[in-house]
Amino acid sequence: MGKQALGNDPFAAGATVRIRHLMPPGHVRAPAYIRGKRGTVERVIAPFKNPEQLAYGLPATEQMLYRIRFSATELWGDLAENPRDFIEAEVYAHWIEPQDHSHAT
Amino acid sequence: MPHDHHDHLSPAGHPYRADDDTPLSYWQTMEIAVRELLVEKNVTTPEEISAQIDKMDARSPAIGSAVVARAWVDPEFKQRLLKDGSAASLEMGFDVGPMHLIAVENTEDTHNIVVCTLCSCYPRNLLGLPPDWYKSRAYRSRTVKEPRKVLSEFGVTLGENVAVRVHDSTADMRYVVVPVRPQNTEGLSEAELASLVTRDSMIGTGVARDPSA
């Protein structure tokens, strides 16, 4: 419970991260279109109780909530309407992993 | 007696709306059962429930419009609003509740638009109930993928050099867009400015009204 349960080291604003590429069943708050995608931390919001546990009436751990910014081309490739565009979503820490630039694909 | 073949039309010639005689859905039955139990067990009363519905219905985009107009006339307020939307709204007496408000500003080179792909999160305390289209699968799925096409269908055409910034309201934040203040509005009062701020301009599917148009 509490801070100890945070799944990751905290990420700083501007850090490059990757959303975990998982497809678990049930109530999940990371939209599928960002999973496996790279983005940057737009801002660090605050810790919130994990809604994926709250939804089932389970004791919920606190997870840091981040706003992650993705470029339209990262999400949609050639189908992106304009390479200038970007999409920002709120993502909980347990969905985020650090992105090593050297392994970027 | 009306003629038989006219029975389905009103005297004005319009069709009558069909009675809502369909069976209750699972969740409608569940809502009624839970509500009746809460009343039976004295947890709440029908009066309290009605009062809460009245409170929700009393909220409208006028609240958000007042906040935007203040941001247009008061640069320091705007900075506070962009830094902490909840606290700045509260300064004006608008409590956005347990959700946190993030205000995002449209500029010459960035246009913001808000969507909730996972459900239909909406800043209700600031804008009232969401329009039906905001909750539609089409709006929710298309806005993250083809925001410019969606915007053009709302009558907003953006230049190639303007970046679109889509905000997917996936968790505990709620979003309001501060639209660009229209040209030639220097002489307008704060209340007159607020009348230019439409609901859609605060969702990002529109722009503020041009007073000369």
Ordered by where they begin, the domains of chain A are 2-100 (2.30.30.50)
Interface test with B, best of A74, A82, A95, A96 (most B CBs within 10 A): A82
- Whole-model pTM? 0.87
- Cβ distance of B167 and A88 shorter than 8 Å: yes
Alpha-carbon distance values, A63 to A10, A52, B119 (Å) = 10, 11, 21
- Of B173, B176, B174, B152, nearest to B162 (Cα)? B152
Q: How many residues does chain A have?
A: 105
Check residue A101 and give its pLDDT.
52
Check residue A53 and give its pLDDT.
92
Measured in angstroms, the CA of A84 and the nearest CA of chain B are apart by: 5
Check residue B122 and give its pLDDT.
93
What's the average model confidence in pLDDT over B162-184? 95
Q: Where are the domains of chain B?
A: 27-58, 60-203
Measured in angstroms, the CA of A31 and the nearest CA of chain B are apart by: 7
Q: pLDDT class for B209, splitting at 50, 70, 90?
A: very high
What's the average model confidence in pLDDT over B93-107? 90
CATH for B60-203 is 3.90.330.10
Q: pLDDT class for A22, splitting at 50, 70, 90?
A: very high
Check residue A8 and give its pLDDT.
53
> In angstroms, rounded to a whole number, what is the distance separating the alpha carbons of residues B82 and B74?
12
Please tell me which residue in B86, B121, B169, B201 is annotated as part of the active site. Answer: B121
Q: pLDDT class for B12, splitting at 50, 70, 90?
A: confident
- B147 in A contact zone (CB under 8 Å): yes
DSSP secondary structure letter of residue A88: E
- Cβ distance of A87 and B160 shorter than 8 Å: no
Please report residues of B whose CB lies closer than 8 A to that of A62.
none
Nearest-by-CA chain A residue for B115 = A89
Alpha-carbon distance values, B124 to B17, B60, B101, B144 (Å) = 30, 8, 11, 21
- B167 in A contact zone (CB under 8 Å): yes
Residue B75 has pLDDT above 80, yes or no: yes
- Cβ distance of B100 and A45 shorter than 8 Å: yes
**pLDDT by residue (tens digit) across B176-201?**
999 999 999 999 999 999 999 999 99
> In angstroms, rounded to a whole number, what is the distance separating the alpha carbons of residues B56 and B64?
14
Measured in angstroms, the CA of B7 and the nearest CA of chain A are apart by: 49
Q: Is B120 a catalytic residue?
A: yes
What's the average model confidence in pLDDT over B87-101? 89
Residue A57 has pLDDT above 70, yes or no: yes
Query: What residues are paired with B176 via a beta bridge?
Result: B103
The residue written with tokens 């910014």 in the block is A69
**pLDDT by residue (tens digit) across B35-58?**
999 999 999 999 999 999 999 999
Determine the 3-state secondary structure of A100 from DSSP: coil
Q: pLDDT class for A3, splitting at 50, 70, 90?
A: very low
- Cβ distance of B165 and A85 shorter than 8 Å: yes
Check residue B9 and give its pLDDT.
82
Please report residues of B whose CB lies closer than 8 A to that of A19.
none
Facing residue for B171 by CB, picked from A65, A81, A84? A65
Please tell me which residue in B119, B141, B152, B189 is annotated as part of the active site. Answer: B119
- Percent of chain B exceeding pLDDT 70 equals 97
Residue A7 has pLDDT above 60, yes or no: no
Check residue B213 and give its pLDDT.
78
- Cβ distance of A84 and B161 shorter than 8 Å: yes
What's the average model confidence in pLDDT over A63-73? 96
